[in-house]
Structure 1
């Protein structure tokens, strides 16, 4: 990326070399390999023509010039009109471009899509990149750059692309003191103390990276909100960030603390039906728009985990969301109201509570409200069934919330490609309107004809030099952006593209590393929570195994609440004979998942309390299968480790060493998870761990006594 480095001299064959530190992410504009391909690009990129000079087009122009010079080794001359074959014309559709592409061809592109076509005019061959807006131009330029990065030909292009989801945002759980809740890559990027006077150039690189994968919004602050962000002293800092991000098509959003009218407004109540409160929020919205004219809106966590909300005043979620939506609507702002709500005082299965509270409110929200729903009904576990709210509220736009940061998947020390998790959820069939009613169709609005749609990702970004802590953590940021743009994309193809852009290695490397990445999510499920187990991690900090966790202030913050192991078996009965959470899904799912013989075994213990001696599809008993899966997870980490070690000659030494060290930690912790969980569950099963498996390194008491201080992310 564009920044000044100190050069680290390395004695490699007597030559100095800059160490690769991961800062450039997937925007590695390396020189094109191969004389034939290099000649092809030079023949088809002879000159650049930019008919207009808007702010977003200027950002695209600057990016394209930088990328082409780096990849081709020469600066491409700019002209005011086409003078020779091989020209590239880039601009918002105008009379100049209409000579090559009629305006009617852009109708399907909307506000953010683009066209790239190879055309012939006056005997000259040229490439035209056009769109209806500057944002479309920006996305089109990044698409063209990545095509060149991937080594694809550009002489016969006919590309038409547009995002399928309208609002594509990162949720930063960043606090004003620069700590990051569930953040594992350093402190927050936002240097509030030095803003607005000092605008770190890194903010530009952050915006470039997001724009390159189609992300068009960022929520700057933690959902466990601080009302101070809405005060003038902070709004002027927000405005400085918004000015940077605006150049790359990114809107700024803020988290709104529901009790802000009391905390910073001097009111005695925050009741959403109170006229003074409603007026306060309208005036606050007007104030924010004076600082940030293109402000995107509010993200709200209310009446969950102690956060204030409308239920404090006997009101419902629609009352609270609509109050804020009313304040934002005149300026086009939206409210993203989170459905992550649960209360241990409610005597029901935690997995049921969001559906119970929100389903009756379908159709009661204003048109500029999105209900932001986590991918599963508990909390970003290594594997969950899709959330039952998807498909259950046809009159209300539903917004996906994925977690990119690995709160429950080993933090930034475990290699876990989340593209596979994201895609698994998006491809799940809700059966809301019959077979084929996938979560993706709910999210993009196509199932119920919603114009407003959205996808959010809880960011894994911090101020670490490589942004995400683990080098492969960058792939999860990249995959989120790609799937937010097109939730029907292939997780495997996205992994392969990221590898090519990041490492630029050969086909054998890309194939083996793609396979490794696709294996990684299944590995972590196996060594942490196989067969539908969930929420059995360490208490509060969520580091390491803790299936024995009990006797905490809230039952739904303990592990025993979820696995319910006893002498008969293990698992949470969510069928009609248990909590009946399964009733919240469509009849087709209820029928399949309600039967131990037909439920996919990956969800078995999520929905059923199963006898230790129950025979599974493998022919093994449940206890034997648990032992098998936990050990398989460890073996899969070893396989990942071996795959990586074989690539030593194809990866720069710094990256190879860093990933190797992290994989060693991951293997150690995978064994820790396996041993601790099997020893604990063995106290209920009273069955031996089969002889073929490695025996636990310590006894159960050793694992239960482990204590950890200053764990990151809390």
Structure 2
């Protein structure tokens, strides 16, 4: 069940892999702990095995570089597990029908494919049947070794999901240049908003001990096309830029390099003062600029392929250029200037809000960044959260998308479920990502989707990207729960292609992670696709948002009004009173609607036209406002709360019936977590309804049960050690 990382040429590995494949033949009855993720490589359907063996044949592959060896090792591992026998690996053409992989430069037999792979760019590949030296062959060819590795993982995915190989003709290239995981990991191994144990980076033991888990992390990321990792928290510690820690970062970069993964660091803007001995971090001060240039030179001397810096500045108390009367472009361009000679990039986060009390926090990023459009250097990309508040269960897409045509914008999603039930609630985020990416910005008329903005195609930007706040930790199953692995997987697949289908991705993941049996696949995919909407219903229906507990963000606390600043409290966002509920962002309120393109602004401004899932995001309405169902707003809210709880009950029942198709260990944990989710969904529903009733004094609609406890009971609950809170 553990995908061991072999040493090149280790015969013992082949024997061990064969034994594992034999043991795997026991099938779904064997215990699994989730460590293998979606790279389990269990025996393929016997009806497919003979055809696979015929079409794959001997493997002809170069082994001169670490990435070439990684591709060979992955094929050996995968084919041994899937087909029950180790493939024969050759450096030259052998008899039979070969599987030939490489680049036109590394394999003489692939020279005829040079023009075909050149147009696919640095990371693209072809995977198709063809003829080589007069014989039928299956070809994985790419411009660079990393493309070959991506093609290898793609082939193994086809085998894992039981797809036919006859007539194979695939040309793939990523639509985004930067496909990055952001680890909110502190140097003491605490993970902010992490629900899967400690950080996987054991800084104390690095660089001397390079845990094999780091290689398996790199393999898993390469299998879904992720090509970058920001190793430390955006609330950064300047110490990571000191020589002692850069030596540790260098060790991780060495492990990741064969898998095409560059390391990045979150840079603390005040580092020149904190570790550099300067009395200022003013980005226009020549001493500060010289310090950052020298630091970049130092980093690239140790790590020639270092990716660059991620920066959180002038947000939530973090230092930044505004501390010196400068703007975001001044700060970003200073760092970009230092990185440019080395090919590095600056990912400058747009999650900003000022120390002053805002009229509407949703407006602030737009107000600060749109005037700077076109002011950033070519190697700066502005990283924008999917929504304007903060990774809520549902938000309208951020108005910055489509509003800065002269500046590359990079999507930032959250993979870790800070606001969606932590690790215990099943909430597949593929539909959330897809909903955002397919939203029409109307930046150039209808058809200008958010995906078109972030992939650079709308405005012709060469720099493009997507970042995901990682949900990975030291837990054996990586992400705290088995189904949370699907969110990591979906993020990688959609960073490769932001136009992809979240349902198709979910089906691949289910087949690779659990079973190809349609009696299992169909209900589980259906369950996953409904799960995020269920969470929205029992937590934040009809556009409500930011109703969670303060600090730890665990559980409901819509009554909270006691934070140091108003925009950290739920009451700031729901504005509920006896008359109504919702935040008025219409032209009659904060006018946040005006930050969207005119066709959208007009639609969002009208409660009769706004999509109902955003009704209370944009409008403060009477409790008796008639909704599209014909129910008054209060009745519709209660209906949706109950619908969410009922969906979790259905998910739990569905999973309970599927024990014959999955191993007992994983089935038991998922079942236990679904039971927790049902209890907590009921808690969210009951606590929220009890609070709203305390304001509106309205009875529950007929057929809906009252909360199990009084509002006083829910308000008395405390969770001082809930995981993932910031330090």
Shift, 1:568, TM fit: 1.3
Partner of 1:625: 636
Instruction: Identify the match of residue 251 of structure 1 among 238, 259, 262.
Output: 262
1:29 maps onto 2:41 in alignment: yes
Return 266-275 or 38-47, whichever deviates more.
38-47
Q: Secondary structure at the match of 1:688?
A: coil
Q: Which 10-residue stretch deviates more, 96-105 or 291-300?
A: 96-105
C-alpha separation between the residues in 2 aligned to 1:481 and 1:51?
27
Stretch moving more, 213-222 or 75-84:
75-84
Measure how far apart 1:100 and its partner are. Answer: 7.0
Residue in 1 that maps onto 2:55 = 44
Question: Which residue number in structure 2 is paired with residue 700 of structure 1?
Answer: 711
Contact residue 358 and residue 567 of structure 2 kept, 8 A: no
Given that 1:576 and 1:582 are in contact with CA atoms closer than 8 Å, whether structure 2 keeps it comes out as yes
Q: Counterparts of 1:292 and 1:558 in 2: how far apart (Å)?
A: 43
Q: Report SS of the residue matched to 2:423.
A: helix
Q: Say whether the 8 Å CA contact 2:102–2:110 is kept in structure 1.
A: no
Q: Which moved more, 1:485-494 or 1:78-87?
A: 78-87
C-alpha deviation, 1:508, in angstroms: 2.1
Task: Give the aligned partner of residue 11 of structure 2.
Answer: none
- The equivalent position to 1:384 in structure 2, one of 392, 395, 403, is 395
Q: Distance in 2 between matches of 1:665 and 1:99?
A: 54
Contact 2:103 2:110 in 1 (8 A): no
Q: 1:666 aligns with which of 677, 684, 688?
A: 677
Report the Cα distance in structure 2 between the residues aligned to 1:685 and 1:287, rounded to whole angstroms.
Answer: 62
Which residue does the alignment assign to 2:343?
332
Q: Is 1:172 aligned with 2:183?
A: yes
1:350-378 per-residue CA deviation (whole Å, 9 max, x = no partner) reads 00000000000000000000100000000
Alignment equivalent of 2:501, drawn from 472, 490, 504: 490
Structure-1 separation of matches of 2:280 and 2:166? 64
Number of aligned residue pairs: give it.
Answer: 710
Is 1:450 the counterpart of 2:461? The answer is: yes
Alpha-carbon distance, 1:106 to partner: 1.6
Partner residue in 2 for 1:422:
433
Indicate whether 1:286 and 2:287 are aligned. Answer: no
C-alpha separation in 2, matches of 1:456 and 1:494? 18
Within 5 Å, which residues of 2 pair with 1:54-203?
A: 54-94=65-105, 96-97=107-108, 101-121=112-132, 123-203=134-214
Output the CA distance in 1 between the equivalents of 2:110 and 2:32: 45
Give the aligned partner of residue 19 of structure 1. 31
Matched, 1:568 2:579: yes
CA offset at residue 78 of structure 1? 2.1
| 1:344 shift after superposition | 4.5
Is the Cα–Cα contact under 8 Å of residues 413 and 433 in structure 2 kept in the other structure?
yes
Structure 1 counterpart SS, 2:567: helix
Give the match's secondary structure for 2:326. Answer: coil
Q: What runs of 5+ residues in structure 2 fail to find an aligned partner?
A: 6-15
Match of 1:512 among 510, 514, 523: 523
Aligned-pair CA distance for 1:81: 2.7
1:232: which partner in 2? 243
Structure 1 gaps of 5+ residues are none
Which residue, 603, 617, 626 being the options, matches 1:606? 617
Alignment of 1:559-598 (within 5 A): 559-598=570-609
Deviation at 1:84, TM superposition (A): 2.8
- Residues in 2 aligned to 1:704 and 1:45: alpha-carbon distance in whole angstroms: 63
Alpha-carbon spacing, 1:528–1:194, altered in 2? closer, same or farther (3 Å): same
Comparing 100-109 and 380-389, the one that deviates more: 100-109
- SS at 1:551's partner residue? coil
Q: Which deviates further from its counterpart, 375-384 or 74-83?
A: 74-83
Question: Partner of 1:558 in structure 2?
Answer: 569
Q: Deviations over 1:61-96 (max 9, x none)?
A: 111111111111112112333233320111112385
Between the aligned partners of 1:685 and 1:37, the Cα distance in structure 2 is: 62
CA distance in 2, matches of 1:51, 1:290: 29
Identify the residue that residue 241 of structure 1 maps to in structure 2: 252
**Equivalent-residue separation in structure 1 for 2:533 and 2:27 (angstroms):** 42
CA 1:464/1:423 → structure 2, altered by over 3 Å: closer, same or farther? same
Matching of residue 312 in structure 1 with residue 313 in structure 2: no
Q: Do 1:84 and 1:124's aligned partners in 2 also have CA atoms closer than 8 Å? A: no
Residue aligning to 1:2: 3
Q: Deviations over 1:532-561 (max 9, x none)?
A: 000010011100000001022110000000
Residue 113 of structure 1, CA deviation: 0.2
Partner residue of 1:273? 284
When residues 691 and 16 of structure 1 are mapped into structure 2, their CA distance, relative to the original with a 3 A threshold, is closer
d(CA) in 1 for partners of 2:117 and 2:88? 28
Deviations 1:496-519 (A, max 9, x none): 000000012411211110100000
The CA distance in 2 between the partners of 1:290 and 1:551, in whole Å, is: 50
1:170-222 CA distances to partner (integer Å, 9 max, x unpaired)?
00000000000000000000000000011100000000000000000000000
* SS of the residue 2:136 aligns to: strand
Alignment equivalent of 1:635, drawn from 646, 649, 652: 646
Question: Given the alignment of the two structures, is residue 212 of structure 1 paired with residue 262 of structure 2, yes or no?
Answer: no
How far has the Cα of 1:3 moved from its partner? 3.4
Aligned partners of 2:62 and 2:68 also within 8 Å: no
